[in-house]
Amino acid sequence: MMRKMWRTIAATLLLSTATISVAQAAPVAETTPAATPDVTATLHADASGPVYDRRIFTQFAEHLGNGIYGGLWVGKNSKIPNTRGFRNDVVGALKQLGVPVVRWPGGCFADEYHWREGIGAKRPVKINTTWGGVTEPNEVGTHEFMDLTEQLGAEPYIAGNVGNGTVREMAEWVEYMTSPAGSLADERAKNGHKAPWKVPYFGVGNELWGCGGNMRAEFAADETRRYATFLKVPAGTRILKIASGANVDDYKWTETMIRDAGDQVDGLSLHYYTVPGGWPPRQSAAQFDEGGWAETLSEALRMDDLITKHTAIMDKYDPKKRVFLAVDEWGTWFKGDPGTNPGFLRQQNTLRDALVAAIHLNIFAKHADRVKMSAIAQMVNVLQAMVLTDGAKMVKTPTYHVFMMYKPYMDATVLPIELKSPRYNKDKWAMPAVSASAVRDKTGKVHVGLANLDPNRPMTVSVQIDGIAGSAVSGQLLTAPAMNTLNSFAVPDGVAPVAFDGARIVGKTLSLTLPAKSVVMLDLQ
């Protein structure tokens, strides 16, 4: 989780692109729409791009606020229906998303996490000095987290403690989880799990430039080499090691890490949050005007420029793209909801967040040759969450619905799409009005994701399709009456997808009118 000051910037171009219940936000007044402008595009359905890796839909669960306790974990004796302590409603909602990977236990929490405190019957209660100053009971440790991933049908991505841990501690944690025999395997069996687990992804530290140790890039690269050397798994298995990458636009960090430690790792991370107004977060998640809308979306579009520049550096040292880029922390970061612990980072989630999610998922398609993993922050009750809980109640957020709409992108082939879009301008923020991407899934069906960033004007879209003779199109639409419409426990479906029948294919031309402030997913046959 980031703590550095970030500067406010102009938008970049994209050619494809509470333990309390929070009340429904007052609707934002919007301007009268002007004439419907035209958007033109060419979709090369006869071409093949990289695979849109399912791991781009990775989720992040940190010991932060109610992200774990209350959000995922209620304990085996809770009246809230659960399976071995994990609440059934949340697990069920996440299973519907097809969550492929979960990153745990942090974030900055990982930089002080000692795994032995989370195994066995007697576990120390400590203070979470990073987030909120509350007690950490260590009820959810290695065994519990692995059980969660099994319930979800997901793979684990473990973040190791380079911050105040040791090489030996990290190596023994990997051995404890993966070894089929030996003293640590016997200890694991005694604690209730005889068979070894698969650990396909392991983070060699987290944010070494910040909460992970405030290291210089050169020192961090040396530490990464040293720690990675001792992360060993049994013969016939593999663990992908992901190095702690850059904070936003720290290109020197990326160059140092890929140059000096790239041969020891398989992935390099990048962290970037959309923080309108700059650091520290000071803007409301639910009460904002059109300026707040425009600034947030322009900041989200910056991800395209960041990936482009970090990738160019990686290409210099790794032209065959062996080391993938893992954007394993991204999303909106606003001021915490009123009445909540500021260290819990709980924020509501509106239609604006849905547009931010669609922008990012479109950007990742553009860079799918290098971006093989990303993790939105975070899964439950923290920042741009998938679901929010309050006691026994749960609600799916607008962001959840966008992830569900883009689910067909998992392991599909990215298709080139050339887009010419009018501009959306508000005050000092200017950007393309429409973001788009397209894929072809394994059954041959083509999916086109579109987002209209303009909150006032619908867009007439005309797409020339090369390579397929589509005859039918169906789709889903996500929009709402106001920019700050949200899903509350009282009104859970304020922002939810509906069937979209406004698209037509005539010959090789796909046409539709894209409503203002909307996300549309089209399925072509």
Positions annotated as catalytic residues are 207, 329
Torsion sign (Cα): 11, 351, 377, 404: negative
Q: Report which of 359, 272, 274 is spatially closest to residue 14, judged by C-alpha positions.
A: 359
Q: Which two tokens stand for residue 445?
A: 């069906």
Please state at what angle helix 217-229 crosses helix 167-178, rounded to 10 degrees.
40
CB under 8 A, 24+ apart: contacts of 417-420: 417/16, 417/41, 417/42, 417/43, 417/44, 417/448, 417/463, 418/15, 418/16, 418/41, 418/42, 418/44, 419/15, 419/16, 419/17, 419/39, 419/40, 419/41, 420/39, 420/40, 420/41
Cα(455)–Cα(29) distance, integer angstroms: 10
Q: Are 223 and 243 in contact (CB under 8 A)?
A: no
Q: Is 523 helix (H, G, I), strand (E, B) or coil?
A: strand
Cα(28)–Cα(485) distance, integer angstroms: 8
Q: Report which of 117, 211, 230 is spatially closest to residue 166, judged by C-alpha positions.
A: 230
Residue 91 host element (H or E): helix 88-97
Cα(45)–Cα(510) distance, integer angstroms: 12
Rg (CA), the chain: 22
CB under 8 A, 24+ apart: contacts of 81-86: 83/151, 84/144, 84/147, 84/151, 85/139, 85/140, 85/144, 86/144, 86/147, 86/148, 86/151
Cα(327)–Cα(164) distance, integer angstroms: 24
